[in-house]
Amino acid sequence: METQRYERRRPESDKITGLTQRVVREGVSADQLAYRETDSREENVIAVKARLLELAGYTTERVMNELAPVNPTNSSDLSPENAELLADLESQYPIMQATLERYEIPLDGMPTWQQIKQGLTPEVLAKASKLEEPTILLVSPVSRQSKVEAIDNHKVPGQKYDTAIYNMHDDNLWNGGKNSPENKWKVLIVEGTQNVQKDPAINNGSKTNFQMTKAWLKKLKNQGLKALEGADAYLTLMMRSLVAGKPVDKDFFTVLNAENLTESSLVAYGVWDYARVRLGSASPADINARLRLRGSVGVDVPQI
């Protein structure tokens, strides 16, 4: 009988080929067959199924979409709070995509929702739930100059002037000190509230910009969070908020180089200022009560 044949040990390549033939012959789904052949062990299910789909000529995107139902990340074991947040982030995905399309940002290589979903583990969702208005960002690898030009060439009502940016090509200010950005999409969940509220213990009128920045950063790290960093992510957030009619940082400003800020380096910040987007700099020794940081959680998008 055929079942007995599959109980005999055979080279893995032969077994996979046989499985592929059975997908066609028996009309079973790859899910059903993968579970049947691996005693329902999820880690093996994913590996076997990925190979099945690959042999069947599926594209990488199609493989990711097919894999999602058996990926442990997407199980129904999420807490009610995490499940609600996951559903909210899923509803935001088409909004983010439509925003990028509005600004004519190329979508080549943009992660699909199913790819992103695999990176939204219970741990990631638990961290993201600590953010005020968790907002998903898909940060394109196009240059910051291209993002600035996109914002200026596709103004929204109330946006009267082009973006003002201090020393656009200074990577120490706008790219965390890295010489060039990574040539790949980044997925973040960030604090999307229009204005981050003050922390009286930090914005107490006696701390310098440097001291406030480091205090905010410590506060975020104590919660397992990072700070929103760099012009690229901030400009993407600004696009989202401009399209929604609620530009972020209307009353305050967000520091964008908290991690590598020193007592002698400039504070890089983003703000909505007099009907325009502004990326500016300030002295670390000054005291500005409008200074804020935005929390952020990175999403690791798996690759096959």
- How does pLDDT run across 257-278, given as a tens digit for each residue? 999 999 999 999 999 999 999 9
Residue bearing the bigger pLDDT, 207 or 77: 207
Kindly state whether residue 128 falls inside one of the protein's structural domains.
Answer: yes
Domain boundary, last residue among 70, 102, 128? 70
Sign of CA dihedral 49, 50, 52, 56: positive
For residues 63-78, give the mean pLDDT.
Answer: 54
Q: Is the pLDDT of residue 22 over 70?
A: no
Q: In this structure, are 268 and 196 located in the same domain? A: yes
Q: In this structure, are 14 and 127 located in the same domain? A: no
Q: In this structure, are 10 and 111 located in the same domain? A: no
Average pLDDT score, the chain:
84
For the whole model, what pTM was predicted? Answer: 0.76
Q: Is the pLDDT of residue 38 over 50?
A: no
| pLDDT of the residue at 11 | 41
Q: In this structure, are 88 and 50 located in the same domain? A: no
Q: In this structure, are 111 and 181 located in the same domain? A: yes
Q: In this structure, are 64 and 110 located in the same domain? A: no
Q: How many domains does the chain have?
A: 2
Residue bearing the bigger pLDDT, 52 or 259: 259
For residues 144-169, give the mean pLDDT.
Answer: 98
Domain boundary, last residue among 42, 70, 98? 70
Q: In this structure, are 62 and 93 located in the same domain? A: no
Read off the pLDDT band of 95 (50, 70, 90).
very high
Buried b (16+ CB within 10 A) or exposed e, 41-65: eeeebbebbbbbbbeeebeeeebbb
Q: Is the pLDDT of residue 16 over 80?
A: no
Q: Is the pLDDT of residue 80 over 70?
A: yes
Read off the pLDDT band of 27 (50, 70, 90).
very low
Q: Is the pLDDT of residue 223 over 90?
A: yes
289 in Cβ contact with 214 (< 8 Å): no
Q: In this structure, are 6 and 95 located in the same domain? A: no
| pLDDT of the residue at 178 | 79
Q: In this structure, are 254 and 290 located in the same domain? A: yes
Kindly state whether residue 97 falls inside one of the protein's structural domains.
Answer: yes
Kindly state whether residue 233 falls inside one of the protein's structural domains.
Answer: yes
Q: In this structure, are 84 and 12 located in the same domain? A: no
Kindly state whether residue 208 falls inside one of the protein's structural domains.
Answer: yes
Kindly state whether residue 149 falls inside one of the protein's structural domains.
Answer: yes
Residue range of the domain that includes 139: 80-298
Kindly state whether residue 75 falls inside one of the protein's structural domains.
Answer: no
| pLDDT of the residue at 64 | 55
Kindly state whether residue 18 falls inside one of the protein's structural domains.
Answer: yes
Residue bearing the bigger pLDDT, 33 or 285: 285
Kindly state whether residue 304 falls inside one of the protein's structural domains.
Answer: no
Q: Which amino acid belongs to residue 244?
A: A
For the stretch 115-136, pLDDT in tens is 999 999 999 999 999 999 999 9
Residue bearing the bigger pLDDT, 204 or 12: 204
Q: Which two tokens stand for residue 44?
A: 């093996």
Q: In this structure, are 142 and 38 located in the same domain? A: no
Domain boundary, last residue among 43, 70, 97? 70
Q: In this structure, are 166 and 218 located in the same domain? A: yes
Read off the pLDDT band of 176 (50, 70, 90).
confident
Q: In what order do the strands lie in the sheet with 164-165?
A: 164-165, 277-282, 267-272, 253-255, 291-292
